[in-house]
C-alpha cells in the first residue's frame, strides 16, 4: 500500500470518526432537551417505560459504538505505520 493511499485512508477514517463524534455530541444535547421538555410537560417516554431505554438513548449508544469502532480502527491502522509514515500522513509536505 502506497503512502498516499495510507494518508487517504487515515484522513478519511479520521474525518468519519470526527463526524461520528459530532453526531454523538448533538444526540446527547438533543436527549437532554427532549428529557427536559418531557419533564416540563409531565409526559413520560413510553418506549423507556417499556424497554428501559428511550429511542434517544439507543441512538446515543449506537453513535458511541460507532465512535469506539472508528477509534479502534485508527489505532490498529496507526500501529501498522512506521513513525516516518505516520509523520508524513499528518504532514504531507514531508
Asked whether the predicted pLDDT for residue 22 surpasses 80, the reply is yes
Query: Domain tally for the chain?
Result: 1
Whole-model pTM over 0.75: yes
According to DSSP H, which parts of the chain are helical?
3-40, 46-51, 55-79, 83-90
CB 21 within 8 A of CB 29: no
Q: Which residues lie closer than 8 Å to 53 by C-beta, 6 or more apart? A: 47, 61
Instruction: Fill in the DSSP letter of residue 90.
Output: H
Start-to-end CA span in the chain (Å): 18
Write down the pLDDT at residue 93.
47
Kindly state the cell numbers that stand for 67.
465512535
Distance CA 19, CA 58 (A): 18
- The percentage of the chain sitting over the pLDDT mark of 70, rounded to a whole number, equals 86
When pLDDT is cut at 50, 70 and 90, the band that residue 7 belongs to is: confident
Q: Which domain holds residue 39?
A: 3-90
What digits encode the pLDDT tens for the residues 47-71?
888 999 999 999 999 999 999 999 9
Amino acid at each position: 500500500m502506497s503512502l498516499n493511499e495510507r494518508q487517504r485512508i487515515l484522513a478519511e477514517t479520521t474525518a468519519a470518526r470526527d463526524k461520528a463524534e459530532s453526531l454523538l455530541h448533538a444526540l446527547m444535547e438533543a436527549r437532554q432537551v427532549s428529557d427536559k421538555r418531557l419533564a416540563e410537560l409531565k409526559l413520560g417516554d413510553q418506549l423507556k417505560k417499556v424497554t428501559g431505554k428511550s429511542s434517544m438513548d439507543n441512538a446515543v449508544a449506537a453513535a458511541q459504538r460507532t465512535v469506539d469502532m472508528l477509534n479502534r480502527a485508527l489505532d490498529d491502522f496507526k500501529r501498522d505505520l512506521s513513525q516516518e509514515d505516520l509523520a508524513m500522513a499528518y504532514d504531507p509536505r514531508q
